[in-house]
Chain A
Amino acid sequence: MSAPTGERPRRPSPVASARPQRRPRKPPPQPFTLLGLVGLAAFTLVTAWDWVLGIGFNPIALPGELADSNPAMVEGLFNITDADWRADYAELLRTHFTDPDSPWLLSLDSRIGSGLVETVQIAVLATLVGAAVSLPLAVLNSRLGAPNRTTHAVIKTLNNINRAIPDVIWAALFVVLVSVGALPGILALTMFTIGVVVKLTSDVVDGVDLGPVEAARAAGASHAAAMRTALVPQILPSFASFSLYAFELNLRGAAVLGFVGAGGIGQAMNYYWSQLDFEAVSVIIFVYLVLVVIVEQVSISVRRRLV
């Protein structure tokens, strides 16, 4: 982190007028750096080693393990190196895109088709509802926007708890409360959206221009009115961008919900996986991936224009 010092000549300064100066000793290395490096190395060894506290991750053996695969599964999922398989797969995709009698066709009421549509619906609803709730919460979650310290502390703690609960766990809990289907998925991703958008947006609040807020206060505005007119317009583009970002994340997150009964494409994935129908899983992965990539591209280009 220090600038290059280079070799200094060991002779007395050629500039006669320079006053005599004492060179400082090189400071000892930063304890933070040293401790940090040792700590991280130890943590890595503990977590990577194959023992009670580690997951047994061996980067040297990994290529060997990758090569030693389960042929039946690979056959089904993707045997991309095999030209015949590729041709079969293309044919498979083609028929499933076009053949109305296929059981897991992309017709919208097939298991896969409806799963995909439901995934999009879950993501859309969770993003809209979550974002709408997030805007006022984000204002309250900032030092500037909270009417008092207690509100700030309470909102912050609640949102930290919310963010600490992974979205599938939210989904599992909501399945208990409202039973299986798309509803628990929507609720779970709404919580997730709130966590992401509130956190990111309230970080932006601390960087806004305080002048307009002062002007609103000087005009006798109430706290809420000052925030609405002087603060919200300033954070709106970031908020919109974060909401779109949350939508991308929700679309990805929605795939996993089905594994706990909370609807979406994950349900179909889970079903065919349990049937050992790897080809079906493969088709799901393929179409879902296309959907994710398209939505992401659109979202990214919109976001770039926003901020």
Chain B
Amino acid sequence: MTETRSRPARSRLAEQVRPERPFARFRWTVTLVLTALLVWSSATVDASWGRLTEAPGRAVGFAQTLVANASLEPLGVALEAMWESIAIAWIATLIGAVCSFPLVFLAAGNLTRGRVKQPVRQLLNVFRAVPEIVLAIALIPFLGLGPVTGAVAMGISSIGTLGKLSAEIVESIDRGPLEAVEASGGGRLTRLRWAVLPQAMPEIAAFWLYRFEINIRVSAVLGVIGIGGIGGFIAQAVERNVFERIGLGLVVVILATMLVDAISSRLRRRLIEGPSPAAQARRERASVAGAEHEEDPE
């Protein structure tokens, strides 16, 4: 069967010309560059690769030590440190949200001219570009070393990311309502209130929450330079071999972060998708209760 099929009788087949296989320049370039990077980095970096083979064995031993030393005694301190990380992240997110909000509308191309937009975007980019740890170190001479320093450093960083991404959300809104408000004589603020915010606000707010999730991780990272929180707690425990603190700290940071992520992502979904159809129907039923005439379907 196969033979008959791969040998069709028609002469039209003879007239066709098979193309040459083209040289995949892009693919080769990428492969070469990545391979070169890999070779250069792994050959020159000062890493003792041999230790990798011992790592699994050590990991088992380390895990056993953690289990053997498991204790709920430091739970209070660990929870306190975790809460501090969350608090730092929350304040940082608020700083970012509050300060970026007015800038968003100046950085959105569909609301302002390029002359305004570009400098605001650049400002946001500067905030975004500086790593949090650099900001934190730079703030130490002014605020000392503590949670507020971390919150302000992360807040400044958040202004950059939140501003940029919110501006992109605003730029993606439907133009229709903007024109409708304009056509009915609405001014700049009216347009913001009735055409821009209703469309962009749920997504922007969802983005604030998402940034909060990220900031919890960042605040844990900044913990190691001494701003407080769970990061410093665990790092110090590791440094001093306080095993019951390492194990408990890990459990606390994993559970707390996953919990906050779960709550936050549910809130985000609720913000973007609106109330569940069932809840919506209940509210509508309540509001038209008693009406004898059905609402016009259109």
Q: Give the interface of A toward B (CB within 8 A).
A: 1-4, 19-22, 24-28, 30, 32, 36, 43-44, 46-48, 52-57, 62, 65-70, 73-74, 77-78, 114, 117-118, 120-122, 124-125, 128, 160-161, 163-169, 172-179, 181-183, 186, 252-253, 255-256, 259-260, 263, 266, 269, 273, 281, 285, 288-289, 292-293, 296
Contacts and interface: CB of A to CB of B under 8 A. Distances in A.
A273 B48 CA distance: 27
A42 to B, nearest CB: 12
B42 to A, nearest CB: 6
A20 B293 contact: yes
Nearest to A69: B142
B13 interface: no
Contact of A182 (B45, B54, B250): B45
Given A24-B287, A69-B141, A57 B148 contact: yes
Given A77-B137, A166-B217, 4 more contacts: A25-B287, A32-B270, A255-B133, A289-B129
Nearest to A73: B141
A21 B296 contact: yes
A27 B286 contact: yes
B174 to A, nearest CB: 13
Dominant secondary structure at the B interface: helix
Nearest to A78: B138
A173 B138 contact: no
B221 A296 contact: no
B44 interface: yes
29 contacts: A21-B293, A30-B283, A44-B94, A47-B90, A52-B80, A55-B146, A57-B91, A65-B143, A69-B142, A70-B142, A77-B137, A121-B45, A128-B34, A165-B250, A166-B217, A168-B220, A168-B223, A169-B250, A178-B54, A178-B55, A182-B47, A252-B131, A256-B222, A256-B224, A256-B225, A259-B235, A260-B239, A289-B134, A292-B129
Given A47-B90, A183-B49, A125 B42 contact: yes
B49 A28 contact: no
Contact of A121 (B44, B55, B91, B140): B44
B51 A179 contact: yes
Given A22-B293, A176-B238, A177-B58, A4 B221 contact: no
Dominant secondary structure at the A interface: helix
Contacts of A26: 287
Given A28-B283, A118-B45, A125-B45, A176 B234 contact: no
A52 B59 CA distance: 36
A169 B221 CA distance: 8
A301 to B, nearest CB: 13
A93 B84 CA distance: 38
Interface pairs A-B: 6 shortest CB-CB: A73-B141, A164-B257, A47-B87, A55-B147, A22-B291, A166-B220
Contacts of B242: none
A174 B54 CA distance: 12
Interface in B92-151: 94, 129-134, 137-138, 140-144, 146-148, 151
Contacts of B293: 19-22
Contacts of B49: 183
Contacts of A114: 46
A177 B62 contact: yes
Nearest to A75: B141
Given A28-B283, A32-B270, A121-B41, A296 B295 contact: no
Interface of B: 34, 37-38, 41-42, 44-49, 51-52, 54-55, 58-59, 62, 80, 83-84, 86-88, 90-91, 94, 129-134, 137-138, 140-144, 146-148, 151-152, 194, 198, 201-202, 217-218, 220-225, 228, 231, 234-235, 238-239, 250, 253-255, 257-258, 261, 267, 270, 275, 283-284, 286-288, 290-293, 295-296
A2 to B, nearest CB: 8
A169 B251 CA distance: 12
A232 B234 CA distance: 39
Contacts of B295: 21, 24
A27 B218 CA distance: 41
A169 B283 contact: no
A122 B133 contact: no
Contacts of A182: 45-47
A60 to B, nearest CB: 13
